[in-house]
Structure 1
């Protein structure tokens, strides 16, 4: 995709995101109304819950040079077998925006041309208008209708190969094949099979090579008024389809459209559950940590079928 074509698409999606009568700092979450949340809850049929998160990685690997650090800090030596009350304790630290662990990107995560979403200047991370776009914005959680579009299932392959793009045509074809339609306020999850490939072939340097959405596919999200986008990879393809813009999908989704992203989810269990149930929509509950001013959070989304 040429630089000018990308700029044209960027400006178009940015204008559309700002033109709605109910726009503002909530971004695409404005499409997720209380009525749509209630409708999503009413759609639960089986009462089965499925986690969409991968276990947090604590060992280094090709895609995870800075793994999360977890250690037991208690009980103190000699306390475990001693009489009386004692506690097991933990300490945990992680690089939220790595290439292995499931996480959510807030609207203050992506800077482009010196701005964040909604034209907010990106200079002062502590400024009130910048903090208003942080993960605080979703501190009450995101709950709505989730829809899984399974692109490897559509193509008849175990996974989409690294470097390959998911197009808008793939998304509409997956809808037709699965008998589901993405609509306003939906949490759209796109499976490319990243986790299955990693499990079967081993980890690789996903920063250099991974499957993801083509930038033009973001027009599909805008037309359908999607509230949240999640994927089992980074959502962006590597190498990038746009010279000079390493993460065009992040730029379009987060910075231009105000769409919260969830990266590196684990969608294999959900794909199997949906196939067995014969339905590809479900209640989806996303509960980020309450980290004041943060650009993202580890996350364990739950699908309820």
Structure 2
């Protein structure tokens, strides 16, 4: 599997942001972006309900965990320490059957987040390693390390968390990843 599918037009559709970081802030939940912590489906549902967000078939799901916000606040020494990890820990969505069922039932076309791995890392349940299920099993693209800070502010300002999203990744024959080159339009 590679990214040659971009020949067919890339990724275009309705994007939906679940702003977990803002929800956590409003609910006095301390974020720990550089620790392995799983965000459960029940939590994602709470975030969705608090935003008044509903999903449609083919939506592109974005989850803002606050990882980029926290990373931007690190000192140079802290960045170097984080980079020294062989497998740097990060919070993300839970690797579970429940998560897979929820993603499948929502019929998302793609998923993306602001953390290094869409799922909590290192993976806590290799039977449900989301990368294998989503990419290889379903052919569902995963976006990682998206800077969702400006998008979060715009969604909050407008009081809506859906937008038109377009991304045409680089065509790299045999390549398995690409910068997204994505844009959200309201």
CA RMSD of aligned residues (A): 1.9
Aligned residues: 171
Local SS of the residue matching 1:173: helix
Instruction: Name the residue aligned to 1:267.
Output: 148
Unaligned 5+ residue runs, structure 2?
Answer: none
Q: Distance in 1 between matches of 2:130 and 2:151?
A: 24
Q: Return structure 1 stretches of 4+ with deviation > 6 angstroms.
A: none
Name the structure 2 match of 1:288: 169
- Name the residue aligned to 1:11: none
The equivalent residue for 1:145 is: 14
Other-structure match for 1:225: 107
- Residue 144 of structure 1 aligns to a residue whose secondary structure is strand
| TM-score normalized with structure 2 length | 0.84
The Cα shift of 1:247 comes to: 8.4
Computing the radius of gyration from Cα coordinates, the structure with the larger value is 1
CA distance in 2, matches of 1:240, 1:294: 23
**Offset from partner CA, 1:16-64 (integer Å, 9 cap, x none):** xxxxxxxxxxxxxxxxxxxxxxxxxxxxxxxxxxxxxxxxxxxxxxxxx
Cα shift at 1:236: 2.1
Alignment of 1:102-117 (within 5 A): 108=1
Which deviates more from structure 2 when the two are superposed, residues 279-288 or residues 231-240? Answer: 231-240
Greater CA deviation, 136-145 or 191-200?
136-145
- TM superposition shift of 1:256: 2.1
From the superposition, tell whether residues 160 and 188 of structure 1 become closer, same or farther in structure 2 (CA, over 3 Å).
farther
* Separation (CA, whole Å) in 2 of partners of 1:254 and 1:290: 17
Q: Distance in 2 between matches of 1:209 and 1:247?
A: 18
CA contact (8 A) 1:158 1:196 kept: no
1:177 corresponds to 2:57: no
**Does residue 301 in structure 1 map to residue 182 in structure 2?**
yes
